[in-house]
Amino acid sequence: MVTPGWDGPPPLGVVVDLDDTLYPQADYLAGAAVSVGRAAGDLGLDGDAVTRALAACLATGSDTGGTIDRALLAVGVPEAALPGLVPPLVAAFTGHTPDRLDPYPGAEDALRSLLAHVPVGCITDGHPTIQAAKLAATGLSPLLPAVVITDDLGGRAMRKPHPAGLTVLAERMDVPADRLLVIGDRPGKDVAVAAAVGARAIRIRQGEYASAPDTPPAWAVVDSFPEAAELALRVLAPAHSFG
């Protein structure tokens, strides 16, 4: 692997995204759609049809909002009936707690390697209950001692690329925000939030946004989290060098 040039002081900490960076988010969404379908069946709807329709809506953009509404309309539910049906189905989605979400191959070992050198944190967007359940199901929580779920800071408005979450995480990690190296899959969020605090990022081409353009450009682009970690280890400051 060719290491891109690095000018200026080396990073003192690494921040990782969660969804489609450490594990494939499609696995979570598939399970959540099934949970919603079951709840829809309990409400007298065709649960299997709702599951399929919701999966299709999520595939077009998992964070666009209103996916359950669109799924119900797609299976022929009258718009007038939505107010009575959507809240319990949203609760089913939010309450979906997977037993296990397998991390990408090599992700756990890569995190261990990073953590042996510098502080490591995680920043993730989304409903706090959902994101906490995802992280727990990956089994990676012990390797991520500092976590910020941006919605905890003020809802969707605080999601990346808003810099507040990364600034808070930097404080918890006791690392200047501009000395972090961010690893994530979405240029418009992970790369952009790094740029917002004067830090740099490694973009991973995988998951839902694998084909998204590199805008804004990352310091480096790789195809997997282990590759990103290997690249990060080449430019990180020596262990415990926090001055």
Nearest to 149 by CA among 13, 135, 72: 135
Residue 63 confidence (pLDDT): 75
DSSP assignment of 157-179 equals GGSTTSTHHHHHHHHHHTS-GGG
114 vs 46, 96, 227, CA distance in Å? 47, 31, 12
Q: Are residues 118 and 204 in the same domain?
A: yes
Q: Are residues 106 and 216 in the same domain?
A: yes
Residue 238 confidence (pLDDT): 66
User: Is the per-residue pLDDT at 71 higher than 70?
Assistant: yes
Q: pLDDT digit string (tens) for 79-133? A: 999 999 999 999 999 999 999 999 999 999 999 999 999 999 999 999 999 999 9
- 68 C-beta neighbours (distance < 10 Å), count: 24
Domain-located, residue 2:
no
Tell me how many degrees the CA angle 69-75-77 measures, rounded to the nearest 5. 65
Residue 105 confidence (pLDDT): 98
Q: Are residues 18 and 30 in the same domain?
A: no
Q: pLDDT digit string (tens) for 195-220? A: 999 999 999 999 999 999 999 999 99
**3 confidence band (pLDDT: 50, 70, 90):** confident
Q: Are residues 223 and 118 in the same domain?
A: yes
Among the candidates 48, 65, 94, a domain finishes at: 94
Q: pLDDT digit string (tens) for 8-46? A: 999 999 999 999 999 999 999 999 999 999 999 999 999
The amino acid at 183: I
Q: Are residues 78 and 108 in the same domain?
A: no
Among the candidates 94, 120, 140, a domain finishes at: 94
Q: pLDDT digit string (tens) for 173-198? A: 999 999 999 999 999 999 999 999 99
What's the CA gap between 208 and 40, in Å, rounded? Answer: 26
Residue 242 confidence (pLDDT): 38
Domain-located, residue 136:
yes
Q: pLDDT digit string (tens) for 45-69? A: 999 999 999 999 998 887 777 999 9
What's the CA gap between 161 and 159, in Å, rounded? Answer: 6
